[in-house]
């Protein structure tokens, strides 16, 4: 067997077979002793254990985000957008009001009292209705315009008061200034209240109401058949609790007793019905008051006000349909609607003008002592104690 020659043992400090042990780098210098790095808890990379290229390196030297500043600018942006929207909505809505009635032409007016008085008129105008719509809404095709309903709404510190004026009320039509000619015309004596509107329109109606009551009318608001139906449809219908079955072929009303939501067509039939009611026109005016208060309450709900897809169509339909006096502002109109909402909510009072019976010509005669007391309370903005029919 071949013999293997063994060499001498490696000197101290050298590896096996005479190969020198490799030096290690420690703190910038060489160290003869071997250190694996586990003595300090570091094997490689940055102090603390992070590896080179760690994502934290990308944010080194950048300032922390200023969240307070970001929140402030976001809030300012939102407020600016809100203000611009509100201002734009105001001017859009204001441009839609039909300010066609000039109350400055009304002569011999009574002094203004406390609070604000609105004369609210529902006319039987068919303007804008097609033949098909006239048939559907049971309006007929009469030419011109007449008043289908008249109400005085008083607003003040003692809650709103809504007073219906029956259109067959027996009143005196006094001398007046013609709305077109500008000339003073003689009065026409005893007649139905709605005849004044048929003779010379809104200004003579205001003159007649003021002459017979002594109450100053501050604002005038009128709406026709088509506008009324459009508002009801735009708001999504109005819920009413109908106290009895009603069927009236002339108005198109066909209702069962109980709660139900009326659309525009049904609502118009409801407020025009009188032949199916025991009290005829007096009962009709009560139904008109109830419905208008319910409509105002529906318009003022958060579901309408906070929903732009419902609010703008409702405002558009309503404002396009209204005829108001030249001094009417959107704030005045808003006050009127909120007051009507208050009537339905029990914060105010609704009533008919006090009636004492029928006059010799068959018209309804006002109970003048009660009327004078009512007007005095309204002028002084006192709580109304008079009751109507």
Confidence band of 169 (pLDDT split at 50, 70, 90): very high
Q: What is the mean pLDDT of residues 247-272?
A: 90
Name the residue with tokens 């060489």: 30
What pLDDT does residue 63 have? 73
Given a cut of 90, whether residue 118 has pLDDT beyond it is yes
Q: Which of 30-44, 151-165, 277-291 is the least confident region?
A: 30-44
On average, the pLDDT of the chain sits at 80
Task: Give the whole-number percent of the chain exceeding pLDDT 90.
Answer: 37
Closest to 120 (Cα-Cα) out of 309, 289, 347, 349:
289
Question: If you average pLDDT over each of 45-59, 82-96, 111-125, which comes out highest?
Answer: 111-125
Question: In this predicted model, what pLDDT tens digit does every residue of 20-60 receive, in sequence order?
Answer: 555 554 444 445 554 554 455 444 445 555 555 555 555 55
For the stretch 316-373, pLDDT in tens is 777 777 899 999 998 998 899 889 888 877 788 999 999 999 888 889 999 999 999 9
Mean pLDDT of 372-381: 96
Decide if 377 contacts 383 (C-beta within 8 A).
yes
Q: Where are the alpha helices (DSSP H) in 300-362?
A: 302-305, 308-321, 330-344
- Which residues, listed in sequence order, are joined to residue 155 by a DSSP beta bridge? 116
Residue 308: the pLDDT is 75
Looking at the chain, the whole-number percentage of residues with pLDDT higher than 70 is: 77
Residue 183: the pLDDT is 94
The pTM of this model reads 0.73
Closest CA to 115 of 341, 367, 366, 383: 383
The pair of three-digit structure tokens given for residue 65, joined into one six-digit string:
């985000």
Taking the CA atoms of residue 226, residue 230, residue 231 and residue 235 in that order, the dihedral angle to the nearest 10 degrees is 160
**pLDDT value of position 59:** 54
For residues 195 and 173, the answer to whether their CB atoms sit within 8 Å is: yes
Question: Above 60 in pLDDT, residue 153?
Answer: yes
pLDDT at 342: 84
CA distance linking residue 124 with residue 142, whole number of Å: 9
- pLDDT higher than threshold 50 for residue 167: yes
> Confidence band (pLDDT; 50, 70, 90) for 140?
low
Answer yes or no: is pLDDT of 288 > 50: yes
């Amino acid at each position: 067997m071949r013999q293997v020659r063994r060499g001498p043992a490696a000197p101290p400090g050298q590896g096996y077979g005479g190969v020198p042990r490799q030096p290690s780098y420690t703190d910038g210098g060489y160290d003869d002793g071997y250190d694996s790095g586990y003595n300090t808890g570091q094997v490689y990379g940055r102090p603390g254990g992070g590896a080179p290229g760690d994502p934290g390196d990308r944010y080194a030297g950048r300032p922390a985000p200023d969240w307070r500043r970001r929140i402030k600018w976001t809030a300012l942006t939102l407020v600016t957008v809100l203000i611009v929207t509100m201002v734009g909505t105001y001017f859009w809505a204001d441009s839609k009001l039909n300010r066609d009635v000039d109350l400055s032409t009304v002569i011999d007016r009574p002094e203004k009292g406390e609070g604000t008085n609105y004369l609210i008129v529902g006319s039987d105008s068919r303007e804008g209705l097609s033949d098909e719509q006239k048939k559907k809404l049971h309006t007929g095709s009469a030419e011109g315009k007449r008043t289908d309903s008249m109400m005085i709404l008083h607003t003040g510190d003692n809650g709103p008061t809504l007073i219906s004026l029956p259109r067959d009320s027996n009143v005196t039509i006094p001398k007046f200034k013609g709305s077109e000619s500008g000339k003073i015309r003689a009065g026409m004596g005893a007649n139905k209240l709605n005849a004044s509107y048929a003779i010379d329109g809104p200004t003579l109606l205001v003159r007649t109401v003021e002459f017979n009551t002594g109450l100053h009318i501050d604002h005038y608001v009128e709406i026709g058949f088509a506008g009324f139906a459009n508002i009801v449809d735009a708001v999504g219908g109005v819920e009413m609790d109908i106290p009895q079955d009603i069927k009236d072929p002339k108005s198109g009303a066909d209702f069962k007793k109980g709660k139900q939501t009326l659309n525009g067509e049904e609502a118009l039939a409801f407020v025009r019905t009188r032949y199916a009611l025991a009290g005829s026109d007096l009962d009709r005016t009560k139904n008109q008051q109830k419905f208008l208060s319910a409509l105002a309450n529906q318009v003022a709900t958060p579901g309408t006000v906070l929903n732009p897809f419902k609010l703008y169509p409702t405002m558009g339909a309503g404002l396009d349909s209204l005829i108001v006096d030249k001094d009417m502002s959107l704030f005045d109109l808003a006050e009127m609607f909120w007051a009507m909402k208050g009537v339905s909510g029990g914060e105010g009072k609704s009533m008919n003008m006090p009636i004492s019976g029928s006059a010799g010509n068959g018209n309804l005669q006002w109970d003048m002592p009660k009327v004078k007391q009512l007007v005095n309370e309204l002028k002084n903005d006192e709580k109304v104690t008079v009751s109507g029919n």
